[in-house]
Structure 1
Amino acid sequence: MNLEIKFRKERITLGIIISLLLLTFSVYFILKPEIFIRNVFMKILHIQILGIIGIVLFSALFFSILKLYSRRYALYITEEFIIDNSRYESLGKIEWQNISKIERIKKKSIEIFVNESVFKNRKLNLIKKFLMFMGNWNYKKSIIISSALLDCSIEELYENITKSYKNYKKTTHKNGLAQ
């Protein structure tokens, strides 16, 4: 079973527009902070610090969403591995043998627990590390796949991933007993 799950391009476009809008607000936080003062406790310095944080965060977010636009597929599921391209900071090809557990979390996400060796073998740049940390505080032990940008529901996604994972476990268990 080979399954390709594609992106919803209209959601990626919406993400690009929203990240640019938030980036613009962050620039205004730095250039015109007095517009945003609403009470005695907010100081110009506080607003400018928020602007700097916003510029860093939303620039990374814009760059990561923009990179998704050119990808052919978000996920590719086979009987031997899964290729995760659903985010800029995704790890790519992960073999089923390196996965220990799959759980559904929140309303639109799946958490896949992987061996630490998977992360050691990948070279990640600073933006990828930052985005991994921002999206998953347990990023050295698991990855999170969200259905927000995918062209399928979370139920379909979870079913397809767990089905392939269980099939892999069955075939390796049978092969292990036969030897």
Structure 2
Amino acid sequence: MSKIEIFISKKKVIIQFFIALLFIFLGILFIFYPKEFVSPVFKSVFLIRLSGILSILFFGAVILIISKELFLRKKKGLVIDKYGIIDHSSYSSVGEIKWDDVISIKKNQVMSTKFLLVYVKKPNVYLYLSDGIIKNKLRKLNMRYYGTPITISSSSLKCDFNQLENNLKKSFEDYKMRNYI
């Protein structure tokens, strides 16, 4: 089996950056001009301002994470080889996942976003791998909603979802064939 290396797509990350900037701009408008956004659905100026503040806080954090991705990260986004997966494709990535620990890989979709769920024998090992509280919380949410802390998306990778899915599933099948699993 040959090693597959998938890099982070600067283009996709830059698009995500500008979308986050747009939401920050909308948050600013909500704070300074809340009366302009009063409608039958949003009747409260207070709630509109609160939405603006939350938008700025959340998407401000997203901007920081994306900036780190763009300017500081030198790692490949995803590496697939005969030993397993090395995932650095997102903020909550777990790093190395050995094929020996993988039970199955399944596709999931929330609205228009497709991602892969990697089910592992010892999911608790992956819950606390990072140094960040937020990363650990994200993995716990994944565990609660999907039964695994490991999700992989192509949203920041230089490949489309079908390529990602095919590469991961074929590599896992190759591993199982080599090891008679």
What do the CA deviations read for 1:26-82 (whole angstroms, capped 9, x no partner)? Answer: 133223322221238511111122123212321222222222223442100111120
- Residues 120 and 146 (structure 1), Cα distance of their counterparts in 2 relative to 1, 3 Å cut: closer
Q: Which residue of 2 aligns with 1:177?
A: none
Deviations 1:110-133 (A, max 9, x none): 221123233245134233245556
Matched, 1:97 2:100: yes
Distance of 1:134 and 1:21 partners within structure 2: 26
In the TM superposition, 1:151-162 aligns within 5 A as: 151-162=158-169
The alpha-carbon deviation at position 152 of structure 1 amounts to 1.7
Identity of matched residues, %:
29
CA distance in 2, matches of 1:62, 1:45: 25
TM-score normalised by L of structure 2: 0.81
Q: Is the 8 A contact 1:11 1:149 kept in 2?
A: yes
**Would the aligned equivalents of 1:136 and 1:144 in 2 still touch at CA under 8 Å?**
no
Give, as a single letter, the amino acid of the residue that structure 2 aligns with 1:78: D
Any idea what SS the aligned residue of 1:108 has?
strand
Moved more, 151-160 or 107-116: 107-116
Distance 1:137 1:52, change over 3 A: farther
Corresponding position: 1:68 with 2:69: yes
- Alignment equivalent of 2:123, drawn from 97, 111, 116: 116
Contact 1:98 1:118 in 2 (8 A): no
Query: Structure 1 regions of 5+ residues with no counterpart?
Result: 175-179
TM-score (normalised: structure 1): 0.82
Query: d(CA) in 1 for partners of 2:103 and 2:133?
Result: 27
Q: How does 1:33-44 map to 2 (within 5 A)?
A: 33-39=34-40, 42-44=43-45
How far apart, CA to CA, are the structure 1 residues paired with 2:134 and 2:6? 25
- Per-residue Cα deviation, 1:62-104 (whole angstroms, up to 9, x for no partner): 2222222234421001111201111112111111122211012
